[in-house]
Amino acid sequence: MTSPLAHALVQARTHPAALNRLRERIGLTTEAARRAGGYLAAAPYRPIAPSADAVAALDIFRRPLQSEPIPARDVLAELDVFGSPATVNQGVGRYFGYVNGGVEPAAAAAAILAGAWDQNVAMPGQSPVGAVLDEVAAGWIVDLLGLPSDAVATFTTGATLANFTAIVAARDALLARAGWSVEEHGLTGAPAIRVIAGAEVHASVLKSLRMAGLGPGIIERVPVDATGAIDADAFPTDTDALTLVLLQAGNVTSGSSDPFARIIPGVRERGGWVHVDGAFGLWAAASPTRKHLVKGVELADSWATDAHKWLNAPYDLGVVIVREREDLYRAMAITAPYLATADERPLLHLGPHMSQRARGVETWALLTARGRTGIAQLIDDSCDRASQFADLLRAAGVEVLARPVLNQVPVAFGEAPGEPGDDKVTDAVIVAIQAEGTLWAGASTWKGQRILRLSISDAATTSDDIDASAVAIVESWKAVLARPQRSTG
Ligand SMILES: *Cc1c(COP(=O)(O)O)cnc(C)c1O
């Protein structure tokens, strides 16, 4: 005999309304997976950037919200029919824009399952599996990157939030050591922090500093060399215990890294804090053949990196790592009676987010599916493909602005093969490449010059993709040069 309570529970769960909702969810989940499979099957035949027609058709979504419900199956169909063609076709190996990366199959699949779980990992009790996988995956990342084994890592939405989190931790730690409690007094009247960064510091670090109340007027910018890495000889030697230094692993244009081993020890000996933005470049540390490129990075106090870029995790997934757990905790702890917990690893006290999805799930799946050698392979392959790209383009007379150190290739196009890049030609070639559709890459300006920036950060990219893309780039360039209106101005 079941107890009256158990009987009531069974009744509630088998109530027709609840059952119908569940059945609908099961059907929709299967339907969504079927549509997702169809989308992927068609991906190789789609242009990398969506057609103008597909983008124009998005107007269907711009309508007032209707008053009556629409069946979820129809909602899904509308999303697929009008949404899928208007996506940027990432993950097929020929998207070289920004540092977007592709997606690892195991991680993308885990995201589907995790979506059904719908876990909030703010506190371990809210999701035991989320808490365990977060802890394990975060620990593996610290290990893979060769960072101090007792450093604490936690997931964020991306490297921007990771930079922000570390900068706030640094700010509060430096001020705490100087006898000032930000928790109690805030920043008004606090001792001034000296902030030093390279001339080519990433914009997200500047934004993070601003959000942390530390910029931009007070930031000292140290000169960089031809590759965009800080010139160690120009780095100030008079930093003090209230100095925050922002270094970078992986310049977003050239892939170069700052000379960590020459800068970090002195800054830390004098009591300062060194943070490293390694959104993509920090992953060089996971490859035995490339880790020398970020030598000494493990000496810092904090690090930011992304899993959604070069590691090929799904969006959005960043990682912040701090050497001393208490520094992160001091800055990020949140108190309310209902949040009291004896747990070792309450995520809401380790990062800026409170409620958060279980980012450790996909990361765990990705790392497990690849293993250590698979991660190293991913890094090495991208670096090799970047060199291949640079060699092919240089051989065709394109100006390659920096020999690829990692996975980034900045190039510019001249009036003729072998001539230095011309801004107008470069911009015209970029438009032509984007319209041609074989690949996609974006424009940037580096050291005053317009460039096409190629980022090889998708594990799906084969050397055939590089060959085909190099041909398409050179053909687009030739087409621009052949335009009759060019000679008439
Ligand atoms: C992309 C990038 C960031 C910002 O990362 P998000 O994940 O987009 O927030 C920061 N620094 C560098 C060097 C980057 O390449």
Asked if residue 335 belongs to a domain, the reply is yes
Residues 64 and 211 in one domain: no
Average pLDDT, integer, range 326-352: 84
Asked if residue 2 belongs to a domain, the reply is no
DSSP bridge partners of 443: 452
User: Is 158 a pocket residue for ligand 1 (Cβ < 6 Å)?
Assistant: yes
Q: How many domains does the chain have?
A: 3
Asked if residue 124 belongs to a domain, the reply is yes
pLDDT of res. 342: 66
pLDDT of res. 488: 46
User: Is 290 a pocket residue for ligand 1 (Cβ < 6 Å)?
Assistant: no
- Report the nearest-CA residue for atom 1 of ligand 1: 279
Average pLDDT, integer, range 425-436: 96
Mean pLDDT, the chain, as a whole number?
95
Percent of the chain, pLDDT > 70?
A: 97
Atom of ligand 1 nearest to the CA of 277: 11
pLDDT at residue 249 tops 50: yes
Residue 66 Cα to ligand 1 midpoint, Å, equals: 38
Residue 159 Cα to ligand 1 midpoint, Å, equals: 5
Asked if residue 44 belongs to a domain, the reply is yes
Residues 125 and 248 in one domain: yes
Dihedral pair phi/psi, residue 222, rounded to 5°: -90, 140
DSSP state of 238: -
Q: Looking at 78-87, 331-340, 361-370, which range is the least confident one?
A: 331-340
Residues 121 and 218 in one domain: yes
Atom of ligand 1 nearest to the CA of 162: 9
Q: For residue 7, which amino acid is it?
A: H
User: Is 280 a pocket residue for ligand 1 (Cβ < 6 Å)?
Assistant: yes
Average pLDDT, integer, range 176-190: 96
User: Is 252 a pocket residue for ligand 1 (Cβ < 6 Å)?
Assistant: yes
Mutate to test the pocket of ligand 1, among 306, 320, 408 (most ligand atoms within 8 A of CB): 306
pLDDT of res. 2: 65
Dihedral pair phi/psi, residue 426, rounded to 5°: -60, -45
Average pLDDT, integer, range 287-306: 98
42's enclosing H/E stretch is helix 16-42
User: Is 277 a pocket residue for ligand 1 (Cβ < 6 Å)?
Assistant: yes
Domain end point (choices 342, 367, 392): 367
User: Is 225 a pocket residue for ligand 1 (Cβ < 6 Å)?
Assistant: no
Residue 188 Cα to ligand 1 midpoint, Å, equals: 30
* Chain segment 193-238, per-residue pLDDT in tens: 999 999 999 999 999 999 999 987 899 999 999 999 999 999 999 9
pLDDT of res. 205: 97
What order of strands is seen across the sheet that includes strand 408-412?
399-400, 408-412, 449-455, 442-446
Mutate to test the pocket of ligand 1, among 277, 282, 353 (most ligand atoms within 8 A of CB): 277
pLDDT of res. 89: 93
- Which long-range contacts link 47-51 to residues 24+ away (Cβ below 8 Å)? 47/89, 47/437, 48/88, 48/89, 48/92, 48/94, 48/95, 48/437, 48/438, 48/439, 48/440, 49/88, 49/89, 49/434, 49/437, 49/440, 50/85, 50/86, 50/87, 50/88, 50/89, 51/85
Residues 249 and 352 in one domain: yes
Distance CA 436, CA 433 (A): 5
Strands (E), 105-210: 152-156, 194-198
Atom of ligand 1 nearest to the CA of 306: 7
pLDDT of res. 335: 80
Residues 257 and 302 in one domain: yes
User: Is 104 a pocket residue for ligand 1 (Cβ < 6 Å)?
Assistant: no
Q: Give the angle subtended at the CA of 44 by the CAs of 53 and 366, to the nearest 5°.
A: 115
Asked if residue 97 belongs to a domain, the reply is no
**Under a CB-based contact definition with an 8 Å cutoff, are residues 318 and 160 in contact?**
yes
Domain end point (choices 38, 53, 87): 87
User: Is 285 a pocket residue for ligand 1 (Cβ < 6 Å)?
Assistant: no
Structure tokens at 48: 């990398």
Tell me how crowded residue 283 is: count the other CB atoms within 10 A of its CB: 31
pLDDT tier at 42, thresholds 50, 70, 90: very high
pLDDT at residue 8 tops 80: no
Total H helices, total E strands in the chain: 14, 11
Q: Count how many Cα atoms sit within 13 Å of the Cα of residue 404 in the half-sphere of its side chain.
A: 27
User: Is 160 a pocket residue for ligand 1 (Cβ < 6 Å)?
Assistant: yes
pLDDT of res. 16: 84
pLDDT at residue 489 tops 60: no
Mutate to test the pocket of ligand 1, among 98, 252, 454 (most ligand atoms within 8 A of CB): 252
pLDDT at residue 1 tops 60: no
Domain end point (choices 308, 336, 367): 367
* Chain segment 151-179, per-residue pLDDT in tens: 999 999 999 999 999 999 999 999 999 99
Q: What is the CATH number of the domain that holds 217?
A: 3.40.640.10
Residues 128 and 178 in one domain: yes
Residues 427 and 363 in one domain: no
Average pLDDT, integer, range 26-49: 95
CB contact set of 390 (below 8 Å; sequence gap of 6+): 400, 403, 404, 409, 411
Residue 138 Cα to ligand 1 midpoint, Å, equals: 19
Helix/strand/coil (H/E/C) assignment for every residue in 326-389? HHHHHHHCCCCHHHCCCCCCCHHHCCCCCCCCCHHHHHHHHHHHHHHHHHHHHHHHHHHHHHHH
pLDDT at residue 458 tops 70: yes
User: Is 93 a pocket residue for ligand 1 (Cβ < 6 Å)?
Assistant: no
Domain with 459, as residue range(s), is 376-481
User: Quick one: how far is CA 159 from the chain centroid?
Assistant: 6
Atom of ligand 1 nearest to the CA of 308: 7
Asked if residue 277 belongs to a domain, the reply is yes
Asked if residue 334 belongs to a domain, the reply is yes
Residue 183 Cα to ligand 1 midpoint, Å, equals: 28
Q: What is the CATH number of the domain that holds 471?
A: 3.90.1150.10
* Chain segment 69-113, per-residue pLDDT in tens: 999 999 999 999 999 999 999 989 999 999 998 999 999 999 999
pLDDT of res. 215: 81
User: Is 202 a pocket residue for ligand 1 (Cβ < 6 Å)?
Assistant: yes
pLDDT of res. 10: 76
Residues 141 and 242 in one domain: yes
Distance CA 307, CA 103 (A): 10
pLDDT tier at 284, thresholds 50, 70, 90: very high
- Report the nearest-CA residue for atom 14 of ligand 1: 279
Dihedral pair phi/psi, residue 322, rounded to 5°: -130, 135
Structure tokens at 180: 């000032």
Residues 62 and 198 in one domain: no
User: Is 208 a pocket residue for ligand 1 (Cβ < 6 Å)?
Assistant: no
Tell me how crowded residue 484 is: count the other CB atoms within 10 A of its CB: 6
Residues 135 and 247 in one domain: yes
Query: Which residue from 252, 259, 251 is spatially nearest to 230, judged by alpha carbons?
Result: 259
C-alpha separations of 355 from 63, 80, 318 in Å:
31, 29, 16
* Chain segment 379-415, per-residue pLDDT in tens: 999 999 999 999 999 999 999 999 999 999 999 999 9
DSSP bridge partners of 457: none
Residues 332 and 404 in one domain: no
Structure tokens at 328: 């992160």
User: Is 100 a pocket residue for ligand 1 (Cβ < 6 Å)?
Assistant: no
Atom of ligand 1 nearest to the CA of 161: 9
Residues 329 and 463 in one domain: no
User: Is 198 a pocket residue for ligand 1 (Cβ < 6 Å)?
Assistant: no
User: Is 256 a pocket residue for ligand 1 (Cβ < 6 Å)?
Assistant: no
Distance CA 258, CA 328 (A): 24
Asked if residue 138 belongs to a domain, the reply is yes
C-alpha separations of 196 from 167, 250, 253, 275, 416 in Å:
12, 18, 21, 10, 41
